[in-house]
Amino acid sequence: LVYQMATGRLKESPFPVMVVKQLKDAVREELRRIRKERGWPAFDKPPAKGQWVDVRFLQDAMEVAGDPDHKSMNKFAEGVRVGWRRKMPRTPAVFERKKQWRLDISFEEEDVHTPANYRSSMDRKEGLTQQFEKDERARFMYKTTYAKAKELWPDSLRIAAMGATEQAGKEWRYTHDATHGIHVNNEIRPRDRPRNPMGGDVKRMVSELSSTPGTVFSLVFDVSKAHRRVLVHNLDWGVQACTDAAVPPTADDDTVWLNLVGT
Sign for the CA dihedral angle at 244, 156, 90, 63 comes to: negative
Separation between Cα atoms, residue 68 and residue 63, nearest integer Å: 7
Burial of 79: CB neighbours in 10 Å, binned 0-12, 13-18, 19+:
buried
Maximum CA extent, the chain: 69
CB 253 within 8 A of CB 146: yes
Q: What is the pLDDT of residues 83-142, one digit of tens each?
A: 999 999 888 888 999 999 998 888 888 889 999 999 999 999 999 999 999 999 999 999
Phi/psi at 84 (nearest 5 deg)?
Answer: -70, 120
Tens of pLDDT, residues 177-213: 999 999 999 999 999 998 888 888 888 888 888 888 8
141-145 vs 255-259, strand pairing mode: antiparallel
Q: What is the spatial distance between Cα 262 and Cα 80, in angstroms, rounded to a whole number?
A: 9
Q: Exposed, middle or buried by CB within 10 Å (0-12, 13-18, 19+), for 182? A: buried
Beta strands in 95-147 (DSSP E): 96-97, 141-145
Q: Tell me the pTM.
A: 0.85
Whether residue 252 contacts residue 145, with contact meaning beta carbons closer than 8 Å, is answered with: yes
Task: State the pairing for strand pair 141-145/241-242.
Answer: unpaired
DSSP strand E in the chain: where? 96-97, 141-145, 159-165, 173-177, 192-193, 241-242, 255-259
pLDDT per residue over 11-43, tens digit each? 888 899 999 999 999 999 999 999 999 999 999
260 and 241 Cβ atoms separated by less than 8 Å: no
Sign (positive or negative) of CA dihedral 115, 119, 125, 130:
negative
Mean pLDDT over 48-68 rounds to 93
Category of 139 on φ-ψ map: left (φ > 0), alpha (ψ -120 to 50) or beta: left
For residue range 210-237, list pLDDT tens digits in order: 888 887 777 777 777 888 999 999 999 9
Confirm if 250 and 114 have CB atoms less than 8 A apart: no
pLDDT of residue 30: 98
Q: How far apart (Å, rounded) are the C-alpha atoms in residues 247 and 256? A: 12
